[in-house]
Structure 1
Amino acid sequence: MTKADIVSQIAKTTGVDKTQVASVVEAFMESVKGTMASGENVYLRGFGTFQIKKRAEKTARNISKNTTIIIPAHSVPAFKPAKEFILAVKKQ
């Protein structure tokens, strides 16, 4: 499902114009990105959590050049679904 599909489905369900729905969906995504970029998690009860996971520094190998490189510690975004979300998906 794409963002356009989500917008179409919400517009059909609610009866709101697609342009308004698209702006709300876009604003939601920007809000989640901005909040996570500032170092905070986003909790949506019954849906899931957008969280920041810390990755430790590690050593990796470049096989083609036969060298080792250091990958610095960094943060990555992750999504952890809520129990209701998991159960709904498992039923299908």
Structure 2
Amino acid sequence: MNKQDLIAAVADQAGISKADAGKAVEAVFDGITSTLKSGGEVRLVGFGTFSVTKRKASTGRNPRTGEAMTIKASTQPKFKAGKGLKDAVN
């Protein structure tokens, strides 16, 4: 399922136009993104939790040359599925 499929599914289930569903989906994505940017987390009970983790700098190897290189520290988004989602999938 891609973004357009998701918008179509939301529009169909909610009985709204695809334009309104598109705005709603974009608003949800924007809300999650802005919260994660500020270092917070988004908990959707029964679905899951979006959070941010920090990765330390590390040393890796260039796969082509085998040369050692440093990998910068970074902040990564993380999603942990909730019980309701796990039960629905299994």
Name stretches of at least 5 consecutive residues in structure 1 with no aligned partner: none
d(CA) in 1 for partners of 2:44, 2:11: 21
Residue aligning to 1:52:
52
> What pairs up with 1:50-89 in 2 under 5 angstroms?
50-89=50-89
The share of aligned pairs that are identical, in percent, is 36
Name stretches of at least 5 consecutive residues in structure 2 with no aligned partner: none
Question: Which secondary structure state, in structure 2, belongs to the residue aligned with residue 70 of structure 1?
Answer: strand
Q: Deviations over 1:4-59 (max 9, x none)?
A: 11111121122111101100100110111111111111111111011112211111
Aligned residues: 90
Q: Which deviates further from its counterpart, 33-42 or 55-64?
A: 55-64
1:65 to partner: Cα distance: 3.3
Change (3 A) 1:66 1:4: closer
